[in-house]
Structure 1
Amino acid sequence: SVLFVKMIKWFLAALVLSLTESGKPPRPQLPSYIKVCHRSDPNLNDCVRESVERIRPYLSQGIPELEIPGCEPLILPEIVMNQGKGSIMVQSKYKDMQIYGPSQFKLRSVKVDTEKNKVKIKLYLPRLEMIGNYSIQGRIMMLPIAGHGISTGNYTDIEATAVMQGEKYEKDGETYLNIKEFHTDFSIGHASVHLTNLFEGDKQLGDSMNEFLNDNWKSLAEEIKPILEKTISDLFKKFSNKIYQKYPLDVLLPP
Protein backbone atom coordinates (compact mmCIF):
# COMPACT_ATOMS: atom_id res chain seq x y z
CA SER A 1 0.00 0.00 0.00
CA VAL A 2 0.95 3.66 -0.32
CA LEU A 3 1.09 3.97 3.49
CA PHE A 4 3.49 1.01 3.71
CA VAL A 5 5.78 2.51 1.03
CA LYS A 6 5.80 5.85 2.88
CA MET A 7 6.69 4.09 6.13
CA ILE A 8 9.60 2.30 4.44
CA LYS A 9 10.86 5.59 2.98
CA TRP A 10 10.59 7.25 6.40
CA PHE A 11 12.46 4.39 8.05
CA LEU A 12 15.29 4.55 5.48
CA ALA A 13 15.53 8.32 5.85
CA ALA A 14 15.69 8.00 9.64
CA LEU A 15 18.39 5.34 9.32
CA VAL A 16 20.51 7.54 7.06
CA LEU A 17 20.12 10.52 9.38
CA SER A 18 21.08 8.40 12.37
CA LEU A 19 24.39 7.66 10.67
CA THR A 20 25.17 11.30 10.05
CA GLU A 21 25.51 14.41 12.12
CA SER A 22 23.32 17.25 10.86
CA GLY A 23 23.38 15.64 7.42
CA LYS A 24 27.21 15.50 7.38
CA PRO A 25 29.10 12.29 6.56
CA PRO A 26 29.93 10.28 9.70
CA ARG A 27 33.37 10.86 11.14
CA PRO A 28 35.86 8.07 10.47
CA GLN A 29 37.11 6.46 13.64
CA LEU A 30 40.71 5.70 14.49
CA PRO A 31 41.70 2.07 15.17
CA SER A 32 41.12 1.17 18.83
CA TYR A 33 44.80 0.44 19.51
CA ILE A 34 45.82 4.04 18.77
CA LYS A 35 46.19 6.24 21.81
CA VAL A 36 44.34 9.51 21.16
CA CYS A 37 46.03 12.65 22.50
CA HIS A 38 44.29 15.94 23.24
CA ARG A 39 45.86 19.16 22.04
CA SER A 40 44.96 20.84 25.35
CA ASP A 41 47.03 18.25 27.27
CA PRO A 42 49.94 20.05 28.99
CA ASN A 43 51.96 16.86 28.46
CA LEU A 44 51.05 16.56 24.79
CA ASN A 45 54.58 15.72 23.65
CA ASP A 46 54.77 12.77 26.06
CA CYS A 47 51.34 11.56 24.97
CA VAL A 48 52.26 11.67 21.27
CA ARG A 49 55.46 9.81 22.03
CA GLU A 50 53.50 7.08 23.83
CA SER A 51 51.02 6.93 20.94
CA VAL A 52 53.85 6.38 18.45
CA GLU A 53 55.32 3.64 20.64
CA ARG A 54 51.93 1.89 20.82
CA ILE A 55 51.64 1.57 17.04
CA ARG A 56 55.23 0.37 16.61
CA PRO A 57 54.23 -3.37 16.59
CA TYR A 58 51.83 -2.66 13.71
CA LEU A 59 54.29 -0.76 11.50
CA SER A 60 56.11 -3.73 10.01
CA GLN A 61 52.88 -5.05 8.41
CA GLY A 62 51.33 -1.62 7.86
CA ILE A 63 48.14 0.01 9.10
CA PRO A 64 45.50 -0.12 6.33
CA GLU A 65 43.05 2.09 8.26
CA LEU A 66 45.62 4.90 8.19
CA GLU A 67 46.86 3.96 4.72
CA ILE A 68 50.33 3.41 6.19
CA PRO A 69 52.17 0.79 4.13
CA GLY A 70 54.25 -1.91 5.76
CA CYS A 71 57.80 -0.81 6.47
CA GLU A 72 59.53 -4.18 6.74
CA PRO A 73 60.59 -3.71 4.09
CA LEU A 74 59.85 -0.10 3.25
CA ILE A 75 59.68 0.19 -0.54
CA LEU A 76 61.12 3.14 -2.44
CA PRO A 77 59.84 2.70 -6.02
CA GLU A 78 62.53 4.88 -7.57
CA ILE A 79 65.42 7.14 -6.61
CA VAL A 80 66.94 9.22 -9.40
CA MET A 81 70.26 10.90 -8.71
CA ASN A 82 71.60 13.11 -11.46
CA GLN A 83 74.59 14.85 -9.94
CA GLY A 84 76.47 17.27 -12.17
CA LYS A 85 78.78 19.14 -9.84
CA GLY A 86 81.36 18.57 -7.15
CA SER A 87 83.31 15.34 -6.97
CA ILE A 88 80.35 13.25 -8.15
CA MET A 89 79.20 13.65 -11.74
CA VAL A 90 76.86 10.74 -12.43
CA GLN A 91 73.48 9.80 -13.75
CA SER A 92 72.07 7.00 -11.62
CA LYS A 93 68.75 5.34 -10.95
CA TYR A 94 67.71 2.96 -8.18
CA LYS A 95 64.45 1.03 -8.56
CA ASP A 96 62.32 -1.08 -6.22
CA MET A 97 64.59 -0.38 -3.26
CA GLN A 98 63.71 -2.53 -0.25
CA ILE A 99 64.74 -1.02 3.08
CA TYR A 100 64.85 -3.23 6.17
CA GLY A 101 65.03 -1.91 9.72
CA PRO A 102 62.84 1.25 9.80
CA SER A 103 60.50 -0.15 12.47
CA GLN A 104 63.40 -0.51 14.92
CA PHE A 105 63.69 3.25 15.38
CA LYS A 106 64.10 4.77 18.83
CA LEU A 107 62.40 8.09 19.52
CA ARG A 108 64.75 10.74 20.83
CA SER A 109 62.17 13.51 21.19
CA VAL A 110 58.77 14.73 19.96
CA LYS A 111 57.70 18.38 19.89
CA VAL A 112 54.19 19.35 18.82
CA ASP A 113 53.30 23.02 18.33
CA THR A 114 49.52 23.15 17.91
CA GLU A 115 49.51 26.92 17.41
CA LYS A 116 51.92 26.76 14.47
CA ASN A 117 50.71 23.36 13.19
CA LYS A 118 54.27 22.08 13.42
CA VAL A 119 55.75 18.76 14.53
CA LYS A 120 59.43 17.98 15.06
CA ILE A 121 60.65 14.44 15.68
CA LYS A 122 64.14 13.22 16.43
CA LEU A 123 64.90 9.52 16.20
CA TYR A 124 67.71 6.99 16.08
CA LEU A 125 67.95 4.01 13.74
CA PRO A 126 70.43 1.31 14.79
CA ARG A 127 70.63 -0.24 11.33
CA LEU A 128 69.15 -0.03 7.84
CA GLU A 129 69.73 -2.55 5.06
CA MET A 130 68.90 -1.65 1.47
CA ILE A 131 68.71 -3.78 -1.66
CA GLY A 132 67.40 -3.01 -5.13
CA ASN A 133 68.21 -2.55 -8.81
CA TYR A 134 70.57 0.17 -9.96
CA SER A 135 72.06 1.70 -13.09
CA ILE A 136 74.86 4.24 -13.07
CA GLN A 137 77.04 6.13 -15.54
CA GLY A 138 79.54 8.91 -14.91
CA ARG A 139 82.54 9.79 -12.76
CA ILE A 140 83.19 9.70 -9.02
CA MET A 141 86.21 11.66 -7.83
CA MET A 142 87.49 11.68 -11.42
CA LEU A 143 87.20 7.90 -11.70
CA PRO A 144 84.85 6.51 -14.36
CA ILE A 145 81.98 4.34 -13.14
CA ALA A 146 79.42 2.41 -15.16
CA GLY A 147 77.16 -0.53 -14.47
CA HIS A 148 73.71 -1.95 -13.86
CA GLY A 149 72.73 -4.71 -11.49
CA ILE A 150 71.96 -5.17 -7.79
CA SER A 151 72.81 -2.54 -5.20
CA THR A 152 73.10 -3.46 -1.52
CA GLY A 153 73.92 -1.21 1.39
CA ASN A 154 74.24 -1.41 5.17
CA TYR A 155 73.94 1.75 7.24
CA THR A 156 74.32 1.95 11.02
CA ASP A 157 73.94 4.49 13.84
CA ILE A 158 71.62 6.86 11.99
CA GLU A 159 70.43 10.03 13.70
CA ALA A 160 67.46 11.61 11.94
CA THR A 161 65.26 14.68 12.36
CA ALA A 162 61.91 15.18 10.65
CA VAL A 163 59.97 18.46 10.65
CA MET A 164 56.38 18.70 9.40
CA GLN A 165 54.68 22.02 8.75
CA GLY A 166 50.94 21.94 8.22
CA GLU A 167 48.11 24.32 7.43
CA LYS A 168 44.44 24.01 8.34
CA TYR A 169 41.57 23.97 5.87
CA GLU A 170 37.81 23.38 6.05
CA LYS A 171 35.89 20.57 4.35
CA ASP A 172 32.32 19.39 4.97
CA GLY A 173 32.14 21.53 8.11
CA GLU A 174 35.28 19.93 9.59
CA THR A 175 38.82 21.21 10.04
CA TYR A 176 41.58 19.20 8.38
CA LEU A 177 45.35 19.56 8.22
CA ASN A 178 47.44 19.56 5.06
CA ILE A 179 51.19 18.95 5.33
CA LYS A 180 52.67 21.56 3.02
CA GLU A 181 56.31 21.07 4.05
CA PHE A 182 58.16 17.98 5.21
CA HIS A 183 61.92 18.15 5.81
CA THR A 184 64.32 15.45 6.91
CA ASP A 185 67.94 15.62 7.97
CA PHE A 186 70.12 12.68 8.91
CA SER A 187 73.65 11.62 9.73
CA ILE A 188 75.11 8.14 9.31
CA GLY A 189 77.59 6.57 11.69
CA HIS A 190 78.92 4.02 9.19
CA ALA A 191 78.03 2.68 5.75
CA SER A 192 79.07 -0.13 3.42
CA VAL A 193 77.82 -0.66 -0.13
CA HIS A 194 78.22 -3.18 -2.93
CA LEU A 195 77.27 -2.86 -6.60
CA THR A 196 77.16 -5.97 -8.78
CA ASN A 197 77.99 -6.05 -12.49
CA LEU A 198 80.09 -2.90 -12.62
CA PHE A 199 81.96 -2.33 -15.89
CA GLU A 200 80.00 -5.06 -17.69
CA GLY A 201 80.98 -7.66 -15.11
CA ASP A 202 84.74 -6.99 -15.06
CA LYS A 203 85.52 -8.44 -11.61
CA GLN A 204 88.84 -6.68 -11.08
CA LEU A 205 87.49 -3.24 -11.98
CA GLY A 206 84.26 -3.90 -10.08
CA ASP A 207 86.06 -4.99 -6.91
CA SER A 208 88.36 -1.96 -7.10
CA MET A 209 85.43 0.44 -7.48
CA ASN A 210 83.47 -1.15 -4.62
CA GLU A 211 86.55 -0.88 -2.41
CA PHE A 212 86.95 2.76 -3.42
CA LEU A 213 83.28 3.51 -2.66
CA ASN A 214 83.56 1.98 0.80
CA ASP A 215 86.84 3.72 1.60
CA ASN A 216 85.28 7.08 0.69
CA TRP A 217 81.68 6.50 1.79
CA LYS A 218 81.55 9.49 4.15
CA SER A 219 82.47 12.16 1.59
CA LEU A 220 80.30 10.48 -1.07
CA ALA A 221 77.33 10.37 1.34
CA GLU A 222 77.61 14.12 1.90
CA GLU A 223 77.42 14.69 -1.85
CA ILE A 224 74.22 12.68 -2.36
CA LYS A 225 72.63 13.55 0.99
CA PRO A 226 70.41 16.41 -0.32
CA ILE A 227 68.88 14.17 -3.00
CA LEU A 228 68.22 11.35 -0.53
CA GLU A 229 66.69 13.72 2.02
CA LYS A 230 64.34 15.16 -0.61
CA THR A 231 63.31 11.69 -1.81
CA ILE A 232 62.55 10.54 1.75
CA SER A 233 60.77 13.82 2.59
CA ASP A 234 58.52 13.59 -0.48
CA LEU A 235 57.63 9.97 0.36
CA PHE A 236 56.70 10.68 3.98
CA LYS A 237 54.85 13.86 3.06
CA LYS A 238 52.68 11.73 0.78
CA PHE A 239 52.08 9.15 3.55
CA SER A 240 51.27 11.88 6.10
CA ASN A 241 48.75 13.65 3.89
CA LYS A 242 46.89 10.39 3.23
CA ILE A 243 46.21 10.24 6.97
CA TYR A 244 45.39 13.92 7.40
CA GLN A 245 43.06 13.94 4.39
CA LYS A 246 41.07 11.04 5.83
CA TYR A 247 40.67 12.16 9.44
CA PRO A 248 39.50 15.58 10.69
CA LEU A 249 41.82 17.31 13.14
CA ASP A 250 39.30 16.83 15.96
CA VAL A 251 39.56 13.05 15.45
CA LEU A 252 43.34 12.89 15.24
CA LEU A 253 44.01 15.48 17.94
CA PRO A 254 40.77 16.49 19.71
CA PRO A 255 40.58 19.62 21.94
Structure 2
Amino acid sequence: MHSSANIFAFLLIIVGFITVRARNIPPFLKICHRNDPNLNECVKQSVNSLRPYLKTGIPALQIPPCEPLRVPQIEISQAVGPISITSTYTDIEVQGGTNFTLKSVKIDIDKDRVRLKLYLPRLEMIARYNMNGRIMLLPITGNGLARGNFTDIEVIATVQGERYQSQKTGEIHYRVVDFYVDFDVGNANIYLDNLFNGDGTLSNAMNLFLNDNWKVVAAEIKPALENTVSDIFKTFSNKIYSKFPLDTLLPP
Protein backbone atom coordinates (compact mmCIF):
# COMPACT_ATOMS: atom_id res chain seq x y z
CA MET A 1 0.00 0.00 0.00
CA HIS A 2 2.96 2.33 -0.16
CA SER A 3 1.78 3.68 -3.50
CA SER A 4 -1.52 4.73 -1.98
CA ALA A 5 0.19 7.47 -0.01
CA ASN A 6 1.44 9.10 -3.21
CA ILE A 7 -1.91 8.66 -4.97
CA PHE A 8 -3.69 10.28 -2.01
CA ALA A 9 -1.17 13.09 -2.02
CA PHE A 10 -1.77 13.65 -5.72
CA LEU A 11 -5.54 13.72 -5.22
CA LEU A 12 -5.49 16.22 -2.37
CA ILE A 13 -2.99 18.45 -4.16
CA ILE A 14 -5.32 18.45 -7.17
CA VAL A 15 -8.21 19.37 -4.87
CA GLY A 16 -6.27 22.51 -4.06
CA PHE A 17 -4.74 23.26 -7.44
CA ILE A 18 -7.95 22.95 -9.44
CA THR A 19 -9.21 26.04 -7.63
CA VAL A 20 -6.17 28.19 -8.37
CA ARG A 21 -6.73 31.20 -10.63
CA ALA A 22 -6.36 30.35 -14.29
CA ARG A 23 -3.25 32.47 -14.78
CA ASN A 24 -1.36 30.29 -12.27
CA ILE A 25 -2.24 26.79 -13.40
CA PRO A 26 -1.49 24.49 -16.35
CA PRO A 27 -4.11 24.67 -19.13
CA PHE A 28 -5.11 21.02 -18.79
CA LEU A 29 -6.58 21.53 -15.30
CA LYS A 30 -10.35 21.92 -15.08
CA ILE A 31 -11.24 24.89 -12.89
CA CYS A 32 -13.71 24.38 -10.04
CA HIS A 33 -15.19 27.22 -8.02
CA ARG A 34 -15.18 27.31 -4.25
CA ASN A 35 -18.89 28.10 -4.00
CA ASP A 36 -19.95 25.63 -6.66
CA PRO A 37 -22.84 23.59 -5.19
CA ASN A 38 -21.48 20.61 -7.16
CA LEU A 39 -17.89 21.10 -6.02
CA ASN A 40 -17.37 17.44 -5.09
CA GLU A 41 -18.44 16.22 -8.52
CA CYS A 42 -16.40 18.93 -10.23
CA VAL A 43 -13.28 17.83 -8.35
CA LYS A 44 -13.95 14.21 -9.22
CA GLN A 45 -14.22 15.06 -12.92
CA SER A 46 -11.05 17.13 -12.74
CA VAL A 47 -9.05 14.28 -11.27
CA ASN A 48 -10.37 11.85 -13.87
CA SER A 49 -9.40 14.23 -16.67
CA LEU A 50 -5.81 14.20 -15.38
CA ARG A 51 -5.48 10.43 -15.33
CA PRO A 52 -3.58 10.24 -18.68
CA TYR A 53 -0.88 12.57 -17.31
CA LEU A 54 -0.11 10.49 -14.22
CA LYS A 55 2.02 7.82 -15.87
CA THR A 56 4.65 10.30 -17.05
CA GLY A 57 4.20 12.78 -14.18
CA ILE A 58 3.11 16.42 -14.00
CA PRO A 59 6.18 18.68 -13.56
CA ALA A 60 4.00 21.80 -13.21
CA LEU A 61 2.49 20.31 -10.03
CA GLN A 62 5.71 18.59 -8.93
CA ILE A 63 4.05 15.20 -9.38
CA PRO A 64 6.66 12.53 -10.29
CA PRO A 65 6.00 9.74 -12.82
CA CYS A 66 3.70 7.16 -11.28
CA GLU A 67 4.36 4.16 -13.54
CA PRO A 68 6.29 2.75 -11.94
CA LEU A 69 5.88 4.71 -8.74
CA ARG A 70 9.21 4.79 -6.89
CA VAL A 71 9.56 5.07 -3.11
CA PRO A 72 13.12 5.22 -1.73
CA GLN A 73 12.55 3.49 1.61
CA ILE A 74 9.91 2.22 4.03
CA GLU A 75 10.60 1.01 7.57
CA ILE A 76 8.13 -1.00 9.63
CA SER A 77 8.54 -1.96 13.27
CA GLN A 78 5.80 -4.09 14.81
CA ALA A 79 6.11 -5.62 18.27
CA VAL A 80 2.51 -6.13 19.44
CA GLY A 81 0.48 -9.33 19.34
CA PRO A 82 1.58 -12.38 17.32
CA ILE A 83 3.64 -10.29 14.90
CA SER A 84 7.03 -9.01 16.03
CA ILE A 85 8.99 -7.76 13.05
CA THR A 86 11.52 -5.12 12.13
CA SER A 87 11.73 -4.70 8.37
CA THR A 88 13.14 -2.24 5.86
CA TYR A 89 12.16 -1.97 2.19
CA THR A 90 14.28 -0.02 -0.27
CA ASP A 91 14.24 0.72 -4.01
CA ILE A 92 10.48 0.16 -4.04
CA GLU A 93 8.69 0.15 -7.40
CA VAL A 94 4.91 -0.12 -7.70
CA GLN A 95 2.92 -0.70 -10.89
CA GLY A 96 -0.81 -0.13 -11.27
CA GLY A 97 -1.30 2.94 -9.08
CA THR A 98 -2.64 5.10 -11.91
CA ASN A 99 -5.45 2.66 -12.64
CA PHE A 100 -7.40 3.76 -9.58
CA THR A 101 -11.09 4.62 -9.72
CA LEU A 102 -12.02 7.66 -7.67
CA LYS A 103 -15.43 6.60 -6.39
CA SER A 104 -16.26 9.74 -4.43
CA VAL A 105 -14.86 13.00 -3.05
CA LYS A 106 -16.33 14.92 -0.15
CA ILE A 107 -14.86 18.32 0.66
CA ASP A 108 -15.71 20.21 3.85
CA ILE A 109 -14.11 23.63 3.38
CA ASP A 110 -15.26 24.97 6.76
CA LYS A 111 -13.64 22.05 8.62
CA ASP A 112 -10.59 21.81 6.30
CA ARG A 113 -11.39 18.16 5.66
CA VAL A 114 -11.34 15.93 2.58
CA ARG A 115 -12.73 12.40 2.38
CA LEU A 116 -11.82 10.11 -0.52
CA LYS A 117 -13.05 6.71 -1.62
CA LEU A 118 -10.96 4.81 -4.17
CA TYR A 119 -10.78 1.44 -5.82
CA LEU A 120 -7.53 -0.08 -7.11
CA PRO A 121 -7.96 -3.26 -9.19
CA ARG A 122 -4.32 -4.32 -8.91
CA LEU A 123 -0.97 -3.25 -7.52
CA GLU A 124 2.32 -5.00 -8.24
CA MET A 125 5.30 -4.25 -6.02
CA ILE A 126 8.97 -5.14 -6.15
CA ALA A 127 11.57 -4.04 -3.59
CA ARG A 128 14.72 -4.94 -1.72
CA TYR A 129 13.94 -6.07 1.82
CA ASN A 130 15.68 -6.76 5.12
CA MET A 131 13.59 -8.49 7.78
CA ASN A 132 14.01 -10.01 11.20
CA GLY A 133 11.46 -11.15 13.78
CA ARG A 134 8.62 -13.57 14.40
CA ILE A 135 5.27 -14.22 12.77
CA MET A 136 2.80 -16.17 14.90
CA LEU A 137 5.67 -17.65 16.94
CA LEU A 138 7.59 -18.65 13.80
CA PRO A 139 11.02 -17.01 13.31
CA ILE A 140 11.59 -15.15 10.08
CA THR A 141 14.79 -13.57 8.83
CA GLY A 142 16.19 -12.68 5.45
CA ASN A 143 17.25 -10.06 2.95
CA GLY A 144 16.79 -9.99 -0.77
CA LEU A 145 14.08 -9.33 -3.31
CA ALA A 146 10.41 -8.96 -2.30
CA ARG A 147 7.54 -9.24 -4.75
CA GLY A 148 3.88 -8.65 -4.08
CA ASN A 149 0.61 -8.65 -6.03
CA PHE A 150 -2.46 -7.08 -4.44
CA THR A 151 -5.93 -7.04 -6.01
CA ASP A 152 -9.41 -5.58 -5.40
CA ILE A 153 -8.27 -2.85 -3.02
CA GLU A 154 -10.96 -0.62 -1.48
CA VAL A 155 -9.64 2.52 0.21
CA ILE A 156 -11.25 5.19 2.38
CA ALA A 157 -9.04 8.13 3.33
CA THR A 158 -9.85 11.15 5.48
CA VAL A 159 -7.47 14.10 5.36
CA GLN A 160 -7.64 16.71 8.13
CA GLY A 161 -5.93 20.04 7.60
CA GLU A 162 -5.55 23.32 9.41
CA ARG A 163 -4.92 26.94 8.51
CA TYR A 164 -1.95 28.89 9.77
CA GLN A 165 -0.26 32.23 9.17
CA SER A 166 3.08 31.99 7.40
CA GLN A 167 5.92 33.84 9.15
CA LYS A 168 7.53 34.46 5.75
CA THR A 169 4.57 35.92 3.87
CA GLY A 170 2.14 36.86 6.63
CA GLU A 171 -0.59 35.11 4.61
CA ILE A 172 -2.83 32.21 5.59
CA HIS A 173 -1.69 28.80 4.37
CA TYR A 174 -3.02 25.24 4.63
CA ARG A 175 -1.27 22.13 5.91
CA VAL A 176 -2.20 18.50 6.52
CA VAL A 177 -2.12 17.57 10.22
CA ASP A 178 -3.79 14.15 10.22
CA PHE A 179 -4.35 11.45 7.65
CA TYR A 180 -6.58 8.47 8.36
CA VAL A 181 -6.75 5.54 5.94
CA ASP A 182 -8.71 2.32 5.99
CA PHE A 183 -8.05 -0.21 3.24
CA ASP A 184 -9.44 -3.61 2.42
CA VAL A 185 -7.44 -5.90 0.14
CA GLY A 186 -9.40 -8.56 -1.69
CA ASN A 187 -6.43 -10.86 -2.31
CA ALA A 188 -2.65 -10.80 -1.94
CA ASN A 189 0.25 -12.91 -3.13
CA ILE A 190 3.79 -12.26 -1.86
CA TYR A 191 7.20 -13.83 -2.27
CA LEU A 192 10.32 -13.07 -0.25
CA ASP A 193 13.55 -14.24 -1.86
CA ASN A 194 16.54 -15.46 0.17
CA LEU A 195 14.80 -16.12 3.48
CA PHE A 196 16.86 -17.89 6.15
CA ASN A 197 20.14 -17.25 4.33
CA GLY A 198 18.94 -18.96 1.20
CA ASP A 199 17.70 -22.19 2.82
CA GLY A 200 15.32 -23.36 0.10
CA THR A 201 13.21 -25.66 2.27
CA LEU A 202 12.63 -23.11 5.04
CA SER A 203 12.17 -20.28 2.55
CA ASN A 204 9.51 -22.12 0.56
CA ALA A 205 7.70 -23.18 3.72
CA MET A 206 7.62 -19.61 5.08
CA ASN A 207 6.44 -18.13 1.78
CA LEU A 208 3.66 -20.73 1.66
CA PHE A 209 2.73 -19.90 5.25
CA LEU A 210 2.68 -16.15 4.56
CA ASN A 211 0.40 -16.57 1.53
CA ASP A 212 -1.95 -18.92 3.37
CA ASN A 213 -2.19 -16.49 6.30
CA TRP A 214 -1.78 -13.12 4.58
CA LYS A 215 -5.02 -11.72 6.03
CA VAL A 216 -3.87 -12.39 9.59
CA VAL A 217 -0.43 -10.89 8.91
CA ALA A 218 -1.93 -7.86 7.15
CA ALA A 219 -4.35 -7.20 10.01
CA GLU A 220 -1.53 -7.21 12.56
CA ILE A 221 0.79 -4.85 10.68
CA LYS A 222 -2.01 -2.59 9.42
CA PRO A 223 -1.50 0.09 12.14
CA ALA A 224 2.21 0.31 11.31
CA LEU A 225 1.42 0.60 7.60
CA GLU A 226 -1.18 3.29 8.26
CA ASN A 227 1.35 5.34 10.23
CA THR A 228 3.90 4.95 7.44
CA VAL A 229 1.39 6.02 4.79
CA SER A 230 0.36 8.99 6.94
CA ASP A 231 3.93 10.23 7.37
CA ILE A 232 4.71 9.96 3.65
CA PHE A 233 1.49 11.68 2.70
CA LYS A 234 1.83 14.61 5.10
CA THR A 235 5.45 15.29 4.13
CA PHE A 236 4.74 15.14 0.39
CA SER A 237 1.60 17.27 0.51
CA ASN A 238 2.85 19.94 2.89
CA LYS A 239 5.89 20.66 0.73
CA ILE A 240 3.45 21.76 -1.95
CA TYR A 241 0.95 23.55 0.24
CA SER A 242 3.61 25.62 2.00
CA LYS A 243 4.35 27.40 -1.30
CA PHE A 244 0.85 28.74 -1.93
CA PRO A 245 -1.43 30.86 0.31
CA LEU A 246 -4.91 29.56 0.96
CA ASP A 247 -6.47 32.44 -0.99
CA THR A 248 -4.54 31.23 -4.03
CA LEU A 249 -5.58 27.62 -3.65
CA LEU A 250 -9.16 28.49 -2.67
CA PRO A 251 -9.86 32.02 -3.86
CA PRO A 252 -12.81 33.79 -2.17
Fold match (TM-score > 0.5) = yes
| Number of equivalent positions | 229
Instruction: Tell me which residue corresponds to 2:201.
Output: 204
State the distance in 2 between where 1:226 and 1:28 align. Answer: 42
Name the structure 1 match of 2:93: 98
From 111, 119, 126, the counterpart of 1:131: 126
Residue aligned with 1:246, SS: coil
The answer to whether 1:34 aligns with 2:29 is yes
Specify the alignment match of 1:9 in structure 2. none
8 Å contact from structure 1 (residues 159, 188) kept in 2: yes
2: CA distance between counterparts of 1:188 and 1:118? 25
The farther-off stretch of 115-124 and 74-83 is: 74-83
* Residue 229 (structure 1) aligned with residue 240 (structure 2): no
TM-score (norm 1): 0.85
Superposition map of 1:144-159 within 5 A: 144-159=139-154
Distance 1:124 1:148 in 2: 32
Tell me the equivalent position of 1:195: 192
- Counterpart code for 1:109: S
- Displacement over 6 Å in runs of 4+: none
Number of the residue aligned with 1:120: 115
SS at match of 2:227: helix
1:20-47 deviation per Cα after TM superposition (whole angstroms, max 9, x unaligned) = xxxxxxx981111111211111111011
Whether the aligned pair in 1 keeps the contact of 2:74 and 2:90 (CA below 8 Å) is yes
The 3-state SS of whatever aligns with 2:85 is strand
- Percent identity for Structure 1 against Structure 2: 55
Question: Using a 3 Å threshold, how does the CA distance of structure 1 residues 35 and 174 change in structure 2: closer, same or farther?
Answer: farther
Superposed CA RMSD in Å reads 1.7
Q: Mean Cα displacement is larger for which, 223-232 or 162-171? A: 162-171
Residue pair 1:96, 1:132 contacting (<8 A) in 2 also: yes
Deviation at 1:248, TM superposition (A): 2.8
TM-superposition CA deviations, 1:44-77 (whole Å, max 9, x none): 1011111111221111222222222222122222
For 1:74-113, what aligned pairs fall within 5 Å after superposition? 74-113=69-108
Q: Does 1:239 align with 2:228?
A: no
Provide the C-alpha distance between the structure 1 equivalents of 2:108 and 2:177, rounded to a whole number of angstroms: 15
Tell me if structure 2 keeps the 8 A contact 1:68–1:239: no
Is the Cα–Cα contact under 8 Å of residues 66 and 242 in structure 1 kept in the other structure? no
Change (3 A) 1:71 1:214: same
Find the aligned partners of 1:252 and 1:71 in 2 and give their Cα distance.
24
Structure 2 unpaired stretches of 5+: 1-21
Corresponding residue number in structure 2 for 1:12: none
8 Å contact from structure 1 (residues 77, 96) kept in 2: yes
**2:236 and 2:53 mapped to 1: Cα distance?**
16
**Counterpart-to-counterpart distance in 2, 1:108 and 1:47:** 13
**Residue 157 of structure 2, aligned match among 155, 162, 168:** 162
Q: CA deviation at 1:80?
A: 1.5
CA offsets 1:88-123 (integer angstroms, 9 cap, x no match): 112211112111111110011100011111111110
| Number of the residue aligned with 1:18 | none
Give the corresponding residue for 2:19: none
